[in-house]
Amino acid sequence: QSALTQPPSASGSPGQSVTISCTGTSSDVGGYNYVSWYQQHPGKAPKLMIFGVSKRPSGVPDRFSGSKSGNTASLTVSGLQAEDEADYYCSSFAGSKKWVFGEGTKLTV
Protein backbone atom coordinates (compact mmCIF):
# COMPACT_ATOMS: atom_id res chain seq x y z
CA GLN A 1 0.00 0.00 0.00
CA SER A 2 1.99 2.99 -1.25
CA ALA A 3 0.90 6.54 -0.48
CA LEU A 4 -0.80 8.44 -3.27
CA THR A 5 1.42 11.06 -4.94
CA GLN A 6 0.66 14.73 -4.33
CA PRO A 7 2.81 17.81 -4.98
CA PRO A 8 4.42 18.98 -1.73
CA SER A 9 3.23 22.53 -2.22
CA ALA A 10 0.86 24.75 -4.18
CA SER A 11 0.14 28.45 -4.03
CA GLY A 12 -2.11 31.17 -5.35
CA SER A 13 -3.16 34.73 -4.68
CA PRO A 14 -6.51 35.65 -3.13
CA GLY A 15 -9.26 35.30 -5.72
CA GLN A 16 -7.26 32.99 -7.97
CA SER A 17 -7.80 29.27 -8.54
CA VAL A 18 -5.42 26.44 -7.73
CA THR A 19 -5.56 22.73 -8.56
CA ILE A 20 -3.91 19.97 -6.52
CA SER A 21 -3.32 16.58 -8.12
CA CYS A 22 -3.38 13.14 -6.53
CA THR A 23 -1.92 10.23 -8.51
CA GLY A 24 -2.40 6.59 -7.67
CA THR A 25 -2.81 3.36 -9.57
CA SER A 26 -5.55 1.27 -11.12
CA SER A 27 -5.77 -0.52 -7.75
CA ASP A 28 -6.91 2.58 -5.90
CA VAL A 29 -7.70 5.96 -7.53
CA GLY A 30 -8.23 4.52 -11.00
CA GLY A 31 -10.22 1.53 -9.84
CA TYR A 32 -12.91 3.18 -7.74
CA ASN A 33 -14.88 6.42 -7.62
CA TYR A 34 -14.13 6.64 -3.91
CA VAL A 35 -11.63 9.52 -3.76
CA SER A 36 -12.01 12.01 -0.95
CA TRP A 37 -10.14 15.17 0.05
CA TYR A 38 -9.35 16.55 3.51
CA GLN A 39 -8.29 19.96 4.75
CA GLN A 40 -6.06 20.19 7.81
CA HIS A 41 -5.08 23.40 9.55
CA PRO A 42 -2.02 23.30 11.83
CA GLY A 43 -2.70 21.45 15.05
CA LYS A 44 -6.25 20.57 14.00
CA ALA A 45 -8.04 17.41 12.94
CA PRO A 46 -8.62 16.80 9.23
CA LYS A 47 -11.93 17.97 7.76
CA LEU A 48 -13.74 16.24 4.89
CA MET A 49 -14.04 18.57 1.88
CA ILE A 50 -14.89 16.25 -1.04
CA PHE A 51 -16.12 12.63 -1.19
CA GLY A 52 -17.02 10.32 -4.02
CA VAL A 53 -14.58 12.18 -6.30
CA SER A 54 -16.71 15.30 -6.67
CA LYS A 55 -19.40 15.52 -3.97
CA ARG A 56 -19.34 18.22 -1.31
CA PRO A 57 -20.54 17.61 2.25
CA SER A 58 -23.05 20.05 3.63
CA GLY A 59 -21.35 23.27 4.69
CA VAL A 60 -18.34 23.05 2.36
CA PRO A 61 -18.23 26.07 0.03
CA ASP A 62 -18.81 25.42 -3.67
CA ARG A 63 -15.42 27.00 -4.29
CA PHE A 64 -14.08 23.50 -3.64
CA SER A 65 -14.53 20.97 -6.45
CA GLY A 66 -13.13 17.56 -7.31
CA SER A 67 -12.61 15.50 -10.43
CA LYS A 68 -10.83 12.38 -11.66
CA SER A 69 -9.27 11.17 -14.88
CA GLY A 70 -7.75 7.72 -15.00
CA ASN A 71 -5.39 7.22 -12.05
CA THR A 72 -5.26 10.92 -11.15
CA ALA A 73 -7.75 12.87 -9.04
CA SER A 74 -7.75 16.62 -8.62
CA LEU A 75 -9.00 19.18 -6.12
CA THR A 76 -9.65 22.71 -7.39
CA VAL A 77 -10.08 25.64 -5.04
CA SER A 78 -11.55 28.67 -6.79
CA GLY A 79 -11.70 32.22 -5.47
CA LEU A 80 -8.89 31.54 -3.00
CA GLN A 81 -9.35 33.00 0.46
CA ALA A 82 -6.85 33.38 3.26
CA GLU A 83 -8.59 30.72 5.34
CA ASP A 84 -8.00 28.15 2.59
CA GLU A 85 -4.31 28.10 3.53
CA ALA A 86 -3.84 24.61 4.97
CA ASP A 87 -2.57 21.12 4.20
CA TYR A 88 -4.71 19.05 1.84
CA TYR A 89 -4.76 15.26 1.65
CA CYS A 90 -6.44 12.98 -0.85
CA SER A 91 -7.58 9.49 0.04
CA SER A 92 -8.84 6.52 -1.95
CA PHE A 93 -10.39 3.16 -1.30
CA ALA A 94 -7.75 0.58 -2.19
CA GLY A 95 -9.79 -2.61 -2.27
CA SER A 96 -10.13 -5.33 0.37
CA LYS A 97 -11.71 -2.80 2.77
CA LYS A 98 -8.40 -0.88 2.96
CA TRP A 99 -7.65 2.79 2.42
CA VAL A 100 -4.69 4.89 1.34
CA PHE A 101 -3.89 8.58 1.78
CA GLY A 102 -1.84 10.99 -0.29
CA GLU A 103 1.42 12.51 0.90
CA GLY A 104 -0.23 15.88 1.44
CA THR A 105 0.03 19.30 -0.22
CA LYS A 106 0.67 22.54 1.64
CA LEU A 107 -1.47 25.27 0.06
CA THR A 108 -0.20 28.82 0.53
CA VAL A 109 -2.49 31.75 -0.18
Partner 1 sequence: EVQLVESGGGLVQPGGSLRFSCAASGFTFSSYWMSWVRQAPGKGLEWVANIKQDGSEKNYVDSVKGRFTISRDNAQNSLYLQMNSVRAEDTAVYYCARHGDWSFDFWGRGTLVTVSS
Q: Which residues bind partner 1 (CB under 8 A)?
A: 1, 3, 32, 34, 36, 38, 40, 44-48, 51-52, 55, 57, 89, 91, 93, 96-104
Closest approach, Cβ 101 to partner 1, in A, equals 4
CB of 27 to partner 1, least distance (A): 14
- Considering the complex, state which of residue 13 and residue 96 has its C-beta at the smaller distance from partner 1: 96
Between 69 and 97, CB nearer to partner 1: 97
Positive or negative CA dihedral for 48, 15, 102, 52?
positive
